[in-house]
Chains A and B, each alone.
Chain A
Amino acid sequence: MEFSTVLQSLLSGLTLGCIYAALGLGLYVVYGVTRVLNLAQGEFVMLGGMITVSLSAFGVPLFPAILLAVAIVSLTGAILYRFIIFPARHASGSTLAFLTVGFAFAVKGLTLLVWGWEYRTLTSFLGSPSIHLWGATIFGQAPWVVGMTILMVAGLYYFFGRTMLGRALRACADEPLGAKTIGISPARMGLLAFVIAAALGAVAGATITPLTMTAYNVGIPLTIKGLLAAFVGGMHRAEGVILGGLLLGLTEALSAGLMPSGYHDAIALSILLVVFLARPRGLLPAHANIED
Chain B
Amino acid sequence: MLLLFVGEGRLLPSGAIREERRGMRGLVRGIQALVLMMVLIATPLLGCAQSSTPDTYRIGVIGSQTGPYSALGLPAIDGGRLVAEQINDAGGIHGREIELIFYDDKGSSTETALAAQRAIDVDKVLAVACVSATGLSHSMIAVVNDNEIPGLIMSGTGLVDDKLGHWAFKPTSSEKDYIPLPLRYLRDDLSLSTCAGLIENSGYGEGGEYFLRQIAGDHGIDMVMFQYFDPGATDLTPQLANINASDAESIFIWGSGPAGALAVKQSREMGITLPIVTTPAQGSPSYVQSFGRYYEMEPSLVCLDSKLTMWEQLPSDDPDREMCREFHQSFKARYGRFPDMWEAIGAQFVMFIADGIERADPDLADAIVARGQLRDAFETTTDLSLFMGTHTMTPDDHYGRVVHKEVLVTFKDGKKVLVKTMED
Report the bound CA distance from A235 to B249 in whole Å: 47
B169 to chain A, nearest CB (A): 27
Q: Does B271 contact A (CB under 8 A)?
A: yes
Q: In the complex where A211-B234, A257-B239 touch, is A117 in contact with B74 (Cβ < 8 A)?
A: yes
CB < 8 Å neighbour of B230 from A112, A119, A265: A265
Q: Does A4 contact B (CB under 8 A)?
A: yes
Render A131-174 as a binary contact track against B, CB cut-off 8 A, 1 for contact.
01000110110000000000000000000000000000000000
Q: In the complex where A215-B258, A217-B70 touch, is A253 in contact with B201 (Cβ < 8 A)?
A: no
A218 neighbours in B (Cβ, 8 Å): 232
CB < 8 Å neighbour of A137 from B226, B262, B270: B270
A130 close to B238 (CB less than 8 A) = no
Render A206-247 as a binary contact track against B, CB cut-off 8 A, 1 for contact.
001001110101100100000000000000000000000000
B237 close to A11 (CB less than 8 A) = yes
B290 close to A4 (CB less than 8 A) = no
B241 close to A5 (CB less than 8 A) = yes
B235 close to A12 (CB less than 8 A) = yes
B343 to chain A, nearest CB (A): 13
Render B227-264 as a binary contact track against A, CB cut-off 8 A, 1 for contact.
11110101111111110110000000000001001100
Q: Does B286 contact A (CB under 8 A)?
A: yes
B269 neighbours in A (Cβ, 8 Å): 130, 137, 139-140
A120 neighbours in B (Cβ, 8 Å): 286, 290
A33 neighbours in B (Cβ, 8 Å): none
Q: Does A61 contact B (CB under 8 A)?
A: no
Report the bound CA distance from A211 to B227 in whole Å: 21
B291 to chain A, nearest CB (A): 8
Q: Does A8 contact B (CB under 8 A)?
A: yes
A17 to chain B, nearest CB (A): 11
B238 close to A256 (CB less than 8 A) = yes
Report the bound CA distance from A218 to B232 in whole Å: 8
A112 close to B241 (CB less than 8 A) = no
Report the bound CA distance from A9 to B236 in whole Å: 9
B235 neighbours in A (Cβ, 8 Å): 12, 15-16, 211-212, 253
A8 close to B237 (CB less than 8 A) = yes
A119 close to B258 (CB less than 8 A) = yes
A208 neighbours in B (Cβ, 8 Å): 234
CB < 8 Å neighbour of A132 from B226, B232, B271: B271
For the complex, count residues of B whose C-beta is within 8 A of A. 36
Q: Does B147 contact A (CB under 8 A)?
A: no
Nearest to A211 among chain B residues (CB) is B234
Nearest to B74 among chain A residues (CB) is A117
Report the bound CA distance from A254 to B239 in whole Å: 10
Report the bound CA distance from A252 to B66 in whole Å: 27
B228 close to A262 (CB less than 8 A) = yes
Q: Does A291 contact B (CB under 8 A)?
A: no
A112 close to B70 (CB less than 8 A) = yes
B239 close to A118 (CB less than 8 A) = no
Q: In the complex where A4-B244, A117-B74, A213-B290 touch, is A137 in contact with B237 (Cβ < 8 A)?
A: yes
Q: Which residues in chain B, 264-291, are within 8 Å of chain A measured between CB atoms?
A: 266, 269-271, 286-287, 290-291
B271 close to A212 (CB less than 8 A) = no
Q: Which of B229, B235, B261 has the most CB of A within 10 A?
A: B235
B241 close to A119 (CB less than 8 A) = no
CB < 8 Å neighbour of A8 from B71, B227, B241, B258: B241
CB < 8 Å neighbour of A257 from B66, B201, B241: B241
B227 close to A260 (CB less than 8 A) = yes
A117 close to B70 (CB less than 8 A) = yes
A264 neighbours in B (Cβ, 8 Å): 228
Q: Does B67 contact A (CB under 8 A)?
A: yes
Q: Does A2 contact B (CB under 8 A)?
A: yes
Report the bound CA distance from A2 to B266 in whole Å: 19
A119 close to B286 (CB less than 8 A) = yes
Q: Does B135 contact A (CB under 8 A)?
A: no
A12 close to B228 (CB less than 8 A) = no
Report the bound CA distance from A260 to B228 in whole Å: 7
Q: Does B165 contact A (CB under 8 A)?
A: no
Report the bound CA distance from A110 to B237 in whole Å: 33
Report the bound CA distance from A213 to B226 in whole Å: 25
Q: Does B372 contact A (CB under 8 A)?
A: no
Q: Does B68 contact A (CB under 8 A)?
A: yes
Report the bound CA distance from A8 to B238 in whole Å: 6
B232 neighbours in A (Cβ, 8 Å): 218, 221
Render B287-300 as a binary contact track against A, CB cut-off 8 A, 1 for contact.
10011000000000
A217 close to B227 (CB less than 8 A) = no
B262 to chain A, nearest CB (A): 7
Q: Does A109 contact B (CB under 8 A)?
A: yes
B245 close to A5 (CB less than 8 A) = yes
A250 to chain B, nearest CB (A): 11
A253 neighbours in B (Cβ, 8 Å): 235, 237-238
A217 close to B241 (CB less than 8 A) = no
A-B contact pairs, 18 of them (CB 8 A): A4-B241, A5-B242, A8-B240, A15-B235, A16-B234, A112-B70, A118-B71, A119-B71, A119-B286, A120-B286, A121-B291, A137-B270, A140-B269, A211-B234, A212-B235, A213-B262, A253-B235, A254-B238
Q: Which residues of A contact B (CB under 8 A)?
A: 2, 4-5, 8-9, 11-12, 15-16, 19, 108-109, 112, 116-121, 130, 132, 136-137, 139-140, 208, 211-213, 215, 217-218, 221, 253-254, 256-258, 260-262, 264-265
9 A-B pairs besides A118-B286, A221-B232 with CB distance below 8 A are A5-B238, A5-B242, A112-B66, A112-B70, A119-B290, A140-B269, A215-B71, A217-B66, A257-B239
8 closest cross-chain pairs (CB), A and B: A257-B238, A212-B234, A8-B241, A2-B245, A118-B286, A137-B270, A9-B238, A5-B241
